[in-house]
């Protein structure tokens, strides 16, 4: 599936989603997404990295830390500060929407 098609599927969830390029690799910016964590809904910006990075098959970066996940670490990407936690096993061969959903399971 093309990056444009993958982005179109994510826009059904987040109409303002944008495809960003980091050294020839895709990142998906998902602004003001409402995410459930520890029984509450939080509005956060997300940055989905649907490819291998930092020893992980895929990554999801958050604009702020959420209460449920542990082991948050700060990161700087695209001239902005982000947070991510250790969450392995989300394969990059999946559709981006599935990758996002799998990462979000960890913060519920």
Upper half-sphere CA count for residue 48 (Cβ side, 13 Å): 27
Low-confidence ranges of the chain (pLDDT < 50): none
Report whether 100 contacts 87 (CB < 8 A).
Answer: no
Whole-model pTM: value is 0.94
Cα separation, 108 vs 104, whole angstroms: 7
Residue 24: the pLDDT is 87
Quick one: pLDDT at residue 33?
96
Q: Which pLDDT does position 102 carry in this prediction? A: 95
Nearest to 83 by CA among 91, 92, 75: 75
What b/e string do you get for 21-40 counting C-beta neighbours within 10 Å, with b at 16 or more? eeeeebbbbbeebebebeee
Rounded CA-CA distance 81/26 in Å is 18
């Amino acid at each position: 599936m093309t990056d444009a098609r993958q982005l179109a599927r994510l826009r059904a969830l987040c109409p303002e989603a944008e495809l960003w390029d980091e050294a020839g690799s895709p990142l998906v910016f998902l602004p003001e997404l409402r995410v459930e964590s520890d029984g509450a809904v939080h509005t956060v910006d997300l940055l989905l990295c649907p490819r291998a990075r930092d020893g992980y098959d895929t990554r999801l970066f958050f604009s702020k830390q959420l209460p449920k996940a542990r082991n948050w670490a700060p990161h700087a990407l695209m001239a902005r500060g982000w947070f991510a936690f250790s969450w392995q096993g989300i394969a990059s061969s999946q559709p981006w929407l599935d990758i996002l959903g799998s990462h979000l399971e960890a913060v519920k």
